[in-house]
Structure 1
């Protein structure tokens, strides 16, 4: 096979090959640079014309120059040849260059195996259900094409596609057994390159005006939450994330680490029952996790910091599921000295009008609680506007510009300015970012928290109450707490909020979206999230109480051995050719005669049966001879055509004994 000149790559075969390769790389065109997509298209067109017009293939020198040149171009474009982006681009372009040397059958086989490998790389970008269906469909087409091109007897492609489907169906039990029973370990077997996590969205480790408003224009899912009981009301569904202590007057950052050796988390006094829930967090390439405000106990995947952040030991780069307990009514207790210093820290000579306003509130109020009430009343009574596209704050004093000039902003504007006012009034305060709200999916009874639900609020420390959440945004736009942002109105500038749909078509469309999200959630839980715990749970439901990986390995060997034996028996034992269209058509002919009392004996050949029929029914001689001759030619000569098969089928249909 390796040394023979290719005979199957005529114009038609080349066309099918190019279609198969095109479908293989099609999703990658969304990630590749424009020049790479145009180059692949040009190489495919050239190879098609070369097959059609019998053009000579390039010599070795030209191919070497092109290969080295394109490797250099990829290195210059990506800065490396190692990684998801550059590696994928290199594979795809090398596949295009391989088209220039399709001289022997082994070149076709190498190209096909390269296509299989490239097909798998799509899962480096996404593992969604539509992509999985696409990959399996293209894999079936490639396998049929592989059989079509590798066969020395060129049969119609549809026959090879049927054979490819049979092979994949035979392999399906093995695939399912491998997925269900193969011992699982925590985390990936190998590490992906850093650029594999590019494009993950989420909150930032700092906050500046406009950061969260940009995030809140995204409908992407941040995480999903399933409550063990009744869910808290919307005004208590604050999902705590990064906490910011220090600011230069514009940007807020976490500040110094509060969890040095010797620090102990203060006792959290609860004022109600704990809320139990499970979070399925989408990867965001950051170390923090999200918990309902305030977390009562850390999960196995994270720890709680001194300021009640839930953080993981490393960045979350794969979907993570964890169970949590939280209190929505609480008292955090006493304030440490370092928290007091950080909570009162003001940037030097920045935002003087904001500082002056906070000091004025302090002078006019009799207590810290009254200072907070007066500040919130200011936001309610003054003409402040909640907007995703506020004016730029070009001043070095952005809080001053927001409070006294533009008075238009998003949640980070309100939270930052309120926190500065509280500090100026002598009240320890900090900024907390995370998410607020969430949409109920009634299909599977869980909540979807999207990036558009990103939010920022303040916390102030009040004597006898501890850290208290204050959301100044709610004073200006209380509907933000009840409903999420309507992203369809973002481009218009003003913010609208999602309301229950009254239109029948809109309700049907929303219902379909929720059903699709429920399907995706189950896919995430049972396929992408099928780890050790889920595997053990599934096997227990099947009655298999597996204690360790050795027992699981034994079950795996037994099941795989049984499946392989069954498949081998199916393949090797002689079977009737009930799927052969020629045999199937001839049997129909025999059944018609059997209904007239002329049944074919098992020992009788087609010719003997035809002679017996003609003796008993001479008027059928011409039709019987014609059908028997076509059957013998197609069944035994091995040179039959599709035209002869159609003629046999038509003759049997018209046969009426």
Structure 2
């Protein structure tokens, strides 16, 4: 009746070869009903569900469904029309609390002259109609013929209650009059009183079904009432939402290690509040609260970084916006969008690091984000689980399978896609991104670097490796001193002369991008690699090194540098600003000595002065800083000793300059690779001596000789040690193995540039990029990479029912396909036509199948017998 729910039975059959290998969603929609979503399992099979539809008005009701099939990630959809079922006649709704039916009878007063339907006398049989009382059915006739028939009875017309359209004249609304007549019909039928419904232009109706049908079709029909609107917002489901929030948190972990602490705490709060809301009835934030929070967050970002673009500020802004989107999300569409945004955010981590750990985190994040997409693409639980059907695999397993299918194609594109000569983009590095020595140096700068274990560069020697006391990696040279800090100068002078005096070392340096242009080379570099330049202070630089990892082939060795230096430069490197009178007075006592002995006197003073090598020296005053260090604090790091020694030498009249760089490195005994970290940052001095040129002098070596002979950690704990205090712990072995892997990763993956691609293609015979051989090789490899996808596409999933699986084994063995709609008996008959000599065996298999599938008892034995018969079936006829 109108206003009630019509319940349709839905049967959706997925063919075994068409259901794919991951569950996906099938959704039925219709304007008259809310969507019905079913989960199609990889095994295929028949799904059954009930689909309710509202029928607000009387008349003929026709459901017009559409079927929507989504891919396992819900990224695309296929829609098709379904042939609607036949129209459903909706009876009018009966009036509630209707008055009693009228008592007058239909026309005709002479009994036997005119009769109508009633309950008095038998008048014949007629076919059964829906709504007939079971008491009126002639069951004897049904037992004899198998057809449902109803006994007709009649009564004098004068004894039949007449229900006339005129009896409802007190109501003005036609629909109200129809509802009252429907209520009277139900009342009289319930009492067992015969009636005759008389409607204008229609013959009298004397049975409930015909009467209600006449009322349902009575014109004018009421206008169609639109069905329930399709929900515009599919609400979040707690289980999938919590999983998505955890995945997003894992994806953002690398950001927490490098951004400001308040951004990390804010992002954690913005993700944690929606998570807790799935378990507690907490209110959703209002639009005003979200707007204020966004404005405050962006304002703090700008105040912290001074900009909203660039590497650090830009990625922090993306983290903030993504977290705000999480707080604002309320629908499944929002959750899907967050998963896709998470895939984009994963790529931003490579702006900061491309090491193997970053790649592993990105791979895991992609798999988890795809699994979150998969969760949103299917209902929480399948509508119907078929008998024997296994539980669906976890979402992350499906995402891992998808990623595995994409891996061969990914590798193919990586190898063959044309590589640019330079980076695809360049992001300006801010000051905070610099992790090396800058254009100036002051006490404390190197000490800050020495507390970081980040890799500065790696060196691999082609032949013998220099001893530890020769591993001075030259960086910026500082010659100008203002009393507080040392800085570089640009001298207009020719390149100094270089005269090798000892063995040469050939090596390769792989330098990490640090925002600084210095190329770290052993003293003294004897060649200038392509793309680099050398200053008049014998330091190499390359502007590209600031934004990307670079690799250089170098040669270095002992040499006399700058024996014929310009007088102007020598004089400049003797200059000192005013101040530090105690240091000047001390140095004045050495001026009568030859320059070499002045240097020796300065070193002896430091070695015998009771100085301490430490990373945490006391703060020095702004004025007379060298005096305070030499005669008061006596505690410092390498830059303290280098700066103080340079001031003493200049005060004694010896040209002196500071050199920043690195000293030593961690040797991997398995590979011979030398890893130089920021903790190896060092500062030393160079003095100019007549006939010798610039000579390296390291004042730190006389205060803490262990810094040069061992490593920084040992030097801090025991400055006079001659052997390293490090022990080869299991953790250190792991770090060495990872370091080795990282080097290979940098060579094979990060360092795979245009030149290496060209070399690889030439060695494989594919020829240059863009040539015929290149395209032929790339196309062939790409097709081979698609083979796993093709194999899975053509492979048929196994049915869930054990008997059906056995029957599927038979079809594979006979190499004869069976549509799921074909009955087993029909299939066996078709198989006998192809294999007539197997008629007996196939008949026995059919009997075993029917017993295993439909038998009530002995099913286990029948199933075992079925499998045995199929296993022993032989296609070839014995001769």
2:697 counterpart residue number: 470
1:392 partnered with 2:619: yes
CA gap of 1:615–1:293, structure 2 versus 1, over 3 A, is: closer
Deviation at 1:17, TM superposition (A): 3.1
Aligned to 1:168: 403
Q: 1:10 to 1:387 in 2, by over 3 A?
A: closer
Q: Measure how far apart 1:209 and its partner are.
A: 1.9
* CA distance, structure 2, for counterparts of residue 229 and residue 273 of structure 1: 11
- How far, CA to CA, are the matches of 1:409 and 1:91 in structure 2? 41
1:158 alignment partner, SS class: coil
3-state SS of the aligned residue for 1:296?
A: coil
- Report whether the alignment pairs 1:188 with 2:396: no
- Give the aligned partner of residue 411 of structure 1: 638
Q: Deviations over 1:220-263 (max 9, x none)?
A: 221111111101111211111111112122311113x11x4xx4
Question: As a proportion of its length, which structure holds more helix?
Answer: 1
Residue in 1 that maps onto 2:523: 293
Question: How far did residue 315 of structure 1 move?
Answer: 5.8
Match of 2:487 among 253, 274, 283: 253
Q: 2:355 aligns with which of 96, 105, 128?
A: 128
- C-alpha spacing 1:87/1:413, structure 2 compared with 1 (3 Å): closer
Aligned with 1:427: secondary structure?
coil
Distance 1:33 1:331 in 2: 45
Between the aligned partners of 2:342 and 2:459, the Cα distance in structure 1 is 39
- Of the structure 1 ranges 201-210 and 311-320, higher mean CA displacement relative to structure 2 is found in 311-320
Which one of the candidate residues 274, 280, 295 is aligned to 1:72?
Answer: 295
1:575 has 2:795 as partner: yes
Structure 2 residue 438 is matched with structure 1 residue 230: no
Correspondence for 2:844 among 612, 635, 646: 612
* Structure 1 residues 551 and 251: alpha-carbon distance in aligned structure 2, compared to 1, 3 A threshold: farther
Higher Rg of the two aligned structures? 2
1:239 aligns with 2:473: yes
Structure 1 residue 515, shift from structure 2 partner: 1.2
Instruction: Work out whether residues 685 and 698 of structure 2, in 8 Å CA contact, stay in contact via their aligned partners in 1.
Output: yes
Partner of 2:375: 148
Please say if residues 278 and 323 of structure 1, whose CA atoms lie closer than 8 Å, have aligned partners that are also in contact.
yes
Structure 2 partner of 1:536: 758
2:742 alignment partner in structure 1: 520
Residues 69/377 of structure 1: CA separation in 2 closer, same or farther (3 Å cut): same
The structural deviation recorded for 1:118 is 2.0
* Paired position in structure 2 for 1:647: none
Which residue among 430, 438, 444 is the counterpart of 2:671?
444
Partner of residue 562, structure 1 = 783
Residue 431 of structure 1 is matched in structure 2 by 658
Question: How far apart are the structure 2 equivalents of 1:275 and 1:337?
Answer: 32
Task: Encode CA deviations 1:248-305: one digit per residue, 9 max, x unaligned.
Answer: 22311113x11x4xx4313311113422111111122112221111111211132111
Q: Distance in 2 between matches of 1:252 and 1:324?
A: 28
Specify the alignment match of 1:642 in structure 2.
none
Alignment of 1:87-106 (within 5 A): 87-99=314-326, 105-106=332-333
Candidates 325, 329, 335, aligned match of 2:555:
325
Match of 2:338 in 1: 111
Q: 5+ residue gaps in structure 1?
A: 630-657
Show the counterpart of 2:601. Answer: 374
Q: Is the 8 A contact 1:485 1:498 kept in 2?
A: no
Residue deviations 1:149-202, cap 9 Å, x none? Answer: 12369556635444322322221111111212222223321222444x744311
Matches of 2:429 and 2:610 in 1, distance apart? 47
* Deviation sequence 1:332-379 (CA, Å, 0-9, x none): 3212122112121121x312222232232121x2x3222222322333
Matches of 1:36 and 1:388, distance apart in 2: 30
| Superposition RMSD in Å | 3.9
Q: Which moved more, 1:34-43 or 1:207-216?
A: 34-43
Q: Which of 669, 684, 688 matches 1:457? A: 684
The aligned residue for residue 643 of structure 1 is none
Return the alpha-carbon distance in structure 2 between the equivalents of residues 280 and 130 of structure 1: 18
Q: Indicate if the aligned counterparts of 1:276 and 1:325 stay in contact, CA closer than 8 A.
A: yes
- Which range is displaced more, 321-330 or 610-619? 610-619
The normalised TM-score by structure 2 is: 0.62
Task: Show the counterpart of 2:585.
Answer: 356
CA contact (8 A) 1:388 1:495 kept: no
Query: Partner of 2:252 in structure 1?
Result: 25
The verdict on how the C-alpha distance between 1:583 and 1:222 changes in structure 2, with shifts beyond 3 A counting, is: farther
* Contact 1:440/1:447 (8 A) holds in 2: yes
SS where residue 118 of structure 1 aligns? helix
Shift, 1:381, TM fit:
3.2
Equivalent residue number for residue 303 of structure 1: 533
Give the 3-state SS of the residue equivalent to 1:278 in structure 2: strand
Q: Does the Cα contact within 8 Å between 2:576 and 2:647 map onto a contact in 1?
A: yes
Residue 99 of structure 1 and its aligned partner are, at CA, apart by 4.6
2-structure distance, mates of 1:616, 1:113? 51
* Contact residue 383 and residue 407 of structure 1 kept, 8 A: yes
Task: For structure 2, list consecutive stretches of 5 or more residues without a partner in the other structure.
Answer: 1-67, 69-76, 78-229, 383-390, 829-840, 864-879
User: Paired residue for 1:207?
Assistant: 441
**Mapped contact 2:236–2:331 kept (Cα < 8 A):** no
Which SS does the other structure have where 1:461 is aligned?
strand
Distance 1:583 1:75, change over 3 A: same
The farther-off stretch of 30-39 and 610-619 is 610-619
Structure 2 CA distance for partners of 1:583 and 1:564, relative to 1, 3 Å: farther
Where 2:518 maps in the other structure, the secondary structure is: coil
1:221 and 2:475 matched: no
Structure 2 CA distance for aligned equivalents of residues 535 and 89 of structure 1: 34
1:73–1:624 distance in 2 versus 1, CA, 3 Å: farther
Residues 194 and 590 (structure 1 numbering): CA distance in 2 closer, same or farther, change over 3 Å? closer
Deviates more, 1:335-344 or 1:37-46: 37-46
Q: Residue 144 of structure 1 contacts residue 157 of structure 1 at CA under 8 Å; is this kept in 2? A: no
**Contact preservation (8 Å) 2:457, 2:511:** yes
Q: Would the alpha carbon gap of residues 585 and 436 (structure 1) be closer, same or farther in structure 2, given more than 3 Å must change?
A: farther
Contact 2:434 2:516 in 1 (8 A): no
Counterparts of 2:474 and 2:329, CA distance in 1 = 59
Give the whole-Å Cα distance in 1 for the aligned partners of 2:564 and 2:419: 45
Change (3 A) 1:39 1:611: farther
CA distance in 1, matches of 2:298, 2:730: 49
In structure 1, what is the Cα distance between the partners aligned to 2:637 and 2:521? 23
How far is the alpha carbon of 1:24 from its aligned partner? 3.0
TM-score by length of 1: 0.80
CA separation in 1, counterparts of 2:617 and 2:739?
32
- Asked if 2 retains the 8 angstrom alpha-carbon contact of 1:222 and 1:451, the reply is yes
1:129/1:523 contact within 8 Å kept: yes
User: Is this contact kept in 1: 2:504–2:555, CA < 8 A?
Assistant: yes
Distance 1:295 1:141, change over 3 A: same
Aligned to 1:178: 413
* Contact 1:610–1:625, Cα closer than 8 Å, also in 2: no
CA displacement at 1:447 relative to structure 2: 0.8
Cα distance, 1:314 vs structure 2 = 5.3
Give me the whole-angstrom Cα distance separating, in 1, the residues matched to 2:437 and 2:684: 14
Give the length in aligned residue pairs.
Answer: 605
Tell me which of the two structures has the higher relative contact order, counting C-alpha pairs closer than 8 angstroms and 6 or more residues apart. 1
